[in-house]
Amino acid sequence: MTPLISVIIPVYNVEKYIEECLDSVLSQDFSDFEVICVDDCGNDASMPIVERYAAGDERIRIIRHDRNRGLAPARNSGMSVACGKYILFLDSDDCLPEGALRHMHDAMQKGGADIVVGRFQAFPDEEDPELIKASNALNRRFSALTARDIPVTLENFQKELKTIYAVAWGMMHRTEFLKKNEIAFPDSHVYHEDICFFLQCFAALPVIRCIEAPVTRYRMRKNSITNSRNRRQAIKRKRDIRISMQQGFDRIIRHHGEEKGGHIVELIKGHPSYRRLLEKRYLGGLFVKKWIGTDRVFKLCGVSVYRELYNEDNTVEQRIFGIPFRRIG
């Protein structure tokens, strides 16, 4: 029998968390679902744990990669075999609150929605003051979501663009909506892969139904905060944000065409939150710092004076007036 909901969980080196994640799904009071666990070739005991769960519950399916490909390709693999009418992405270190599937399914059953979004609950992975503070700050932001329907149009596109967090988890998507609009994650190993996916979803002008029920418990881990302060990781993250955005733009134009797709991309680029990611102006526009592809360019009076080229190995080439002068990383 075809399940109503497909829960897609990429699995990579999460032996510490995967049991709690799976338990939170299997204990839901809504039971008409399948769980697709995508083995992304880690080197810990995560998959033996998943295999043990799968042996005891036929709703769990295992999809295997032949090598580590990253979170985005793992989610794409899960989508390619999903049988459910609706799709929910769940990271393997997060979990579902009680009643999450029922709340989202009930909202979908009212009809008319392509995406259902609920509230998130951030929680610290350990009793660490910094993690607790970060979790509390996020929860204050998450609690601002109010119940309403958002029919996205070209007219309200920019207004509503930052109403919803640019993530893939914590949302239930209608499978036919994703297929019809050819929405997928970037097929590469990048951070912030959710941006590419989210922008494609928004560009398809969906009806988004917001509910106030908690639908995801988001784990705050110490290494996430530590990595944000590491220069090499920070360099890769900055570069990957732009890669994810650009891949989203490319897919939007490819699916919707040069005219409509190009207009939507310009609306995204013109939104203050995204414009800040792509370009900053100083001294009345005399000095401009902008991203061209994955390169950061500094212009003075319209002339490129300095350029940073972000490489695949997370190093940066620095050039003044086109002349390399130092390589860091």
The pLDDT of residue 66 is 95
- Whether residue 174 lies inside any domain: the answer is yes
In a domain, 104, yes or no: yes
Asked whether residue 92 falls in the same domain as residue 158, the answer is yes
Same domain, 12 and 66: yes
Residues 166 and 231 occupy one common structural domain: yes
Is residue 265 included in any domain, yes or no?
A: no
Q: Where are the beta strands (DSSP E) in 221-285?
A: 279-282
Same domain, 285 and 187: no
Instruction: Tell me what pLDDT residue 308 has.
Output: 78
The answer to whether 295 and 309 have CB atoms below 8 angstroms apart is yes
DSSP 148-209: EEEE--TTTHHHHHTTS-S-STTEEEEHHHHHHTT----SS--TTHHHHHHHHHHHT--EEE
Residues 214, 97 share a domain? yes
Q: Indicate whether 228 and 143 sit together in one domain.
A: yes
- How many domains, in total, are found in the chain? 2
Residue 262 included in any domain: no
Is there a single domain that holds both residue 299 and residue 168? Answer: no
The rounded distance, in Å, linking the Cα atoms of 89 and 36 is 10
Whether residues 119 and 240 fall in one domain: yes
Tokens coding 320? 């003044």
pTM reported for the whole predicted model:
0.87
Would residue 132 count as lying in a domain? yes
- Give the tens place of pLDDT for each residue, 226-264: 445 566 677 677 778 888 888 899 999 999 999 999 999
pLDDT value of position 329: 47
Tell me if 256 is assigned to some domain.
Answer: no
Task: Give the residue among 150, 166, 146 at the shortest CA–CA distance from 271.
Answer: 166
**Predicted local distance difference test score (pLDDT) of residue 326:** 60
Whether residue 181 is found in the same domain as residue 289: no
Strands 207-220 and 115-124, by their bridges, are parallel
Q: pLDDT digits over 259-287, tens only?
A: 999 999 999 999 988 887 777 777 777 88
Residues 96 and 229 in one domain: yes
Q: Specify if 264 maps to a domain.
A: no
Please give the Cα distance from 33 to 7 (Å, whole number).
7
Identify whether residues 127 and 27 lie together within a single domain.
Answer: yes
In terms of domains, do 201 and 111 share one? yes
Whether 268 is covered by a domain: the verdict is no
Phi-psi category of residue 98: left, alpha or beta, with phi > 0 → left and psi -120 to 50 → alpha: beta
pLDDT of 228: 55
pLDDT of residue 220: 92
| Joined tokens for residue 23 | 């338990």
List 11's β-bridge partners, or say none.
39
Where in the sequence is the domain holding 38, given as residue range(s)? 5-249
Domain end, chosen from 232, 249, 266, is at 249
CATH number at residue 227: 3.90.550.10
Give the per-residue pLDDT at 226: 47
**The pLDDT value given to residue 161:** 92
What residues of the chain score a pLDDT lower than 70? Answer: 224-232, 235, 293-294, 310-315, 326-329
On whether the CB atoms of residues 84 and 5 are closer than 8 A, the answer is yes
